[in-house]
Amino acid sequence: MRDPRDFDSFYLGTAPRVTSQVYAMVGNRADAEDIVQEAYARAWQYWDKVSGYDSPEAWVRTIAFRIAVSTWRKAINRFTAHRRHGAPESLPGADPNYVAIVAALRLITPEQRRAVVLFHLVGLSVAEIAAETGVAVGTVRARLTRGRQALAPHLSEYAAELSAPEPEVAHHG
């Protein structure tokens, strides 16, 4: 039996955070909000099962990231990728460093971007990312390393640390 109050509490407590994580993936506030609403709608659709998972938020995030990738691919197919995913939108009041990071994230592959977001923003370990994305631990490490290296030329402020050899596993275990 689906309990709307339980869902509402879950939604209100996690949606802003998940939206910010999806924004880092897609770089567009409107798209991020649409994707997250769709992901939570699906969560309610299956809430009797999703609510029993250890981390419903991880489930929603996984769905949202898949929708994001799907949306991105459809946009490519429609030759509208540049309009939707080209120049980064302005984000009033945001830290310029953060805007620059999100813009740079859009320049690396979706797989690398997802690994970087899950590791550095969500705070998952390499093993947890491997479980959530369904790939091997070594693949996650490779995506993290290559993703950071790919970001370095676009983020001169952090180029030195992004280029450091395998710094990414040092503080997450």
Partner 1 sequence: MADRFEQALRAGSARFAMNTDIERPHDVRARGERRRRRRIAVVASAVVLAVAGLGGTAYATGWGPSSAPPAGTTRSPAPSHSPSPSRSAAPSHRADGGMSEQPESPDPTGSASSTRQCSLGDLRDPTVVDGGVGGGHSLNVVRLGYTGAQPCTLTGYPTLTYLCGGNEQTGEKHCVLPARRGTWFDGGPKKEYGGTVQPGGAVYFDLATVSEPTAGEKQTYSAVRVVIDRDTQPLIDGGPFESTGGVSVSQWYVQAG
Residue of 38, 50, 48, 40 lying closest to 13 (CA atoms): 40
H or E segment to which residue 145 belongs: helix 137-151
C-alpha 11/C-alpha 129 separation (Å) is: 22
Positions in the binding site for partner 1 (CB under 8 A): 3-17, 19-21, 23-24, 33, 36-38, 40-47, 49-50, 52-56, 58-59, 61-63, 91, 93-95, 97-99, 101-102, 120-121, 128, 131-132, 134, 148, 151, 155, 157-158, 161-162, 167, 171
C-alpha 8/C-alpha 124 separation (Å) is: 25
CB 173 to partner 1: min, Å: 12
C-alpha 167/C-alpha 5 separation (Å) is: 43
Decide whether 7 or 75 has the Cβ nearer to partner 1: 7
Q: How many CB atoms lie within 10 A of CB 65?
A: 24
Decide whether 17 or 84 has the Cβ nearer to partner 1: 17
Decide whether 8 or 87 has the Cβ nearer to partner 1: 8
Decide whether 50 or 115 has the Cβ nearer to partner 1: 50
